[in-house]
Amino acid sequence: MLFFSITLINLNELVKKPLLTSLFFILPLICGCTPSSEDIAGKADANTTPQEQIGPALGSTREAPELLDASTERCIRNYGATIKRYAGRYGLDWRLVLAIMKQESGFSRSAESHKGAGGLMQLMPVTGEELARNLELEDISHPEQNIQAGIFYLRKLYDLFEGSGEADRLKLTLAAYNAGLSRINDAQELASYLHARPAEWEGVKDALPLLSKRFYTLHRSVWGQDRPKSGWFGNAGQTLKYVDSVMDYYDDFRLALN
């Protein structure tokens, strides 16, 4: 598959300006298992030239016939063409989208989380409303529109981690999709304070649990207050499992699907 070509930004700039991404998003104040409210700046052009697909090369030790269950096959029959169309438009591997959809909603168009996230891509209400305005969509709960908005949102997140290597960039994107971009920004800033590399997933992965309330003294040293900029984050374990799970599904789908 083609890999997305990136121009590495200066790492020092990433450390100095962890909130550069506010040009694209309203940083969420809450977190959860689905995207938090973030303002997507700029309207998508329906005639945008498809970009090269992204996603690191992965391998699997499992046999292909074992990888597709009935729900996955049914989703591909019902929505495969739609997923491929919008993934191609926004330059993503459609199998990555499929992996996210499996983790987020189990391929249920009527899925709704306890926080109100809905649809196949489990978009939070405020996020969905903002995406609907930018993309001029009428009903974000409609499967096709939910898929389009979710893929567009995923691409916007991916673009904000351009200073990272491909594998790190993808995992950071998934973490931001799950926990909210502002949580990942806080973790990057904390990683930098601890002399880790904020552009690498391992540094952010280790920093995420440190955003919880029990580390308020550390927060005071970093931010001059008892909590991170976006507030305490107690669901780091859930986000780390989310990233691993999506990557496992993606690994499987790359082996099983062309």
- Is 13 catalytic? The answer is no
CA distance 248 to 242: 10
Share the mean pLDDT of the chain: 81
Determine the pLDDT at residue 258.
Answer: 81
CATH class for the domain made up of 46-256: mainly alpha
Whether residue 195 contacts residue 7, with contact meaning beta carbons closer than 8 Å, is answered with no
Q: What are the domain boundaries of the chain?
A: 46-256
Q: What are the distances in angstroms from CA 26 to CA 36, 38, 126, 168, 182? A: 10, 5, 11, 23, 9
From 104, 130, 189, 200, active-site residue: 104
- Asked whether the whole model's pTM tops 0.85, one would answer no
Average pLDDT over residues 142-164: 96
The radius of gyration of the chain's CA atoms, rounded to the nearest angstrom, is 18
Of 244 and 6, the structure prediction assigns the larger pLDDT to: 244
- As given in the structure block, the two tokens for residue 229 are 């900029």
- Residue-wise pLDDT tens digits, 174-231: 999 999 999 999 999 999 999 999 999 999 999 999 999 999 999 999 999 999 999 9
∠ CA 7-13-17 to the nearest 5 degrees? 120
